[in-house]
Amino acid sequence: MLDDFLTRALIAGIGLAITTGPLGCFIVWRRMAYFGDTMAHSALLGVALALILDLNLMLGVFVVTLAISGVLLLLQRRNSLSADSLLGILSHATLSLGLVIVAFMTWIRFDLLSLLFGDILAVSRSDIAIIYAGGALVLAVLAAIWRPLLASTVSEDIAHAEGLNPALSRIIFMLLLAIVIAIAMKIVGILLITALLIIPAATARRFATTPEQMAFLAALIGVAGVVGGLYGSVQFDTPSGPSIVVAALIVFILGLLPANRRKTSSEQIAK
């Protein structure tokens, strides 16, 4: 069955969507979309450094994205610039620096567009194994830190009052985000990773009544986006990564149609 490239792409995409759904909920709740975008953009710098140092690409992306998140935390503590300014600087600087370094490496031939927009149709069996093993690890750790991370999302004071450690859970969450970016790079590409994290979660927020339900719905919506996107890619001969994001966007737009609905607890968390 795995000899069919489309079947491999479908299995890989579903595995990624199941992982990004719950993780994306916290990005939506904590208003970290720009932060996730910055980490995703830094992935290209990780690729460039990995090629120079002859390292595994996923390892290079993981290390650089984690380092960028650490640099951001240190700069935020100095209060010299606002958070959005720092994110803008780091986001565009790391992406541009990665592109410049790649341009200088004329002795290495690779498809830059596949890095930027993904190439899910080229996933191998080993890629699928990495996606599901990494996804299982991410979901297991996220389940373990769910309570302190959720409490700190609602209120840092509440988390401290309950004897939790919100700072540690936040650091672990950034670690999980770096892992997902490294895994997702080949499927949807550097420029589209954040979309796959945010769009399913934002769609699920309109229908979920609890945070846990929102995480489950976000995973299902992500899977629907993968299936619909791959179908559209085959039918209309469009790029697979962007097609997946467009399919998820269509689901989001359809979710906007019901005009009247009551507020849910998952929405109140984000306020």
- Residue 107 maps to which CATH number? 1.10.3470.10
**Inside any domain, residue 202:** no
Is residue 245 pLDDT above 70, yes or no? yes
Is residue 249 pLDDT above 80, yes or no? yes
Residue 269 has a pLDDT of: 62
Percent of the chain with pLDDT over 90: 55
**Inside any domain, residue 269:** no
Higher-pLDDT residue of 161 and 225 is 225
What is the number of domains present in the chain? 1
Q: To the nearest whole number, what is the mean pLDDT of the chain?
A: 88
**Inside any domain, residue 69:** yes
Percent of the chain with pLDDT over 70: 92
Residue 83 has a pLDDT of: 77
Q: Lowest mean pLDDT: which of 8-17, 62-71, 197-206, 220-229?
A: 62-71
pLDDT band at 252 (very low <50, low <70, confident <90, very high): very high
Cβ pair 268, 155 in contact under 8 A:
no
pLDDT in tens, 46-98: 999 998 888 888 899 999 999 998 888 787 777 667 778 888 888 999 999 99
Interval 199-206 mean pLDDT: 95
**Inside any domain, residue 234:** no
Interval 13-38 mean pLDDT: 93
Is residue 268 pLDDT above 70, yes or no? no
pLDDT in tens, 158-201: 777 777 788 888 889 999 999 999 999 888 898 899 999 999 99
Interval 150-165 mean pLDDT: 81
Q: Lowest mean pLDDT: which of 99-103, 127-131, 141-145, 174-178?
A: 99-103
Cβ pair 23, 177 in contact under 8 A:
yes
**Inside any domain, residue 201:** no
Structure tokens given for 249: 């966007």
**Inside any domain, residue 162:** yes
Residue 263 has a pLDDT of: 53
Residue 259 has a pLDDT of: 54
Distance CA 23, CA 215 (A): 8
Q: What is the domain range of residue 170? A: 5-191
pTM: 0.89
**Inside any domain, residue 27:** yes
Residue labelled with tokens 């700190």: 152
Residue 70 has a pLDDT of: 86
**Inside any domain, residue 218:** no
Residue 260 has a pLDDT of: 47
Q: Lowest mean pLDDT: which of 2-6, 117-121, 207-211?
A: 2-6
> Cα-atom radius of gyration of the chain, to the nearest Å?
18
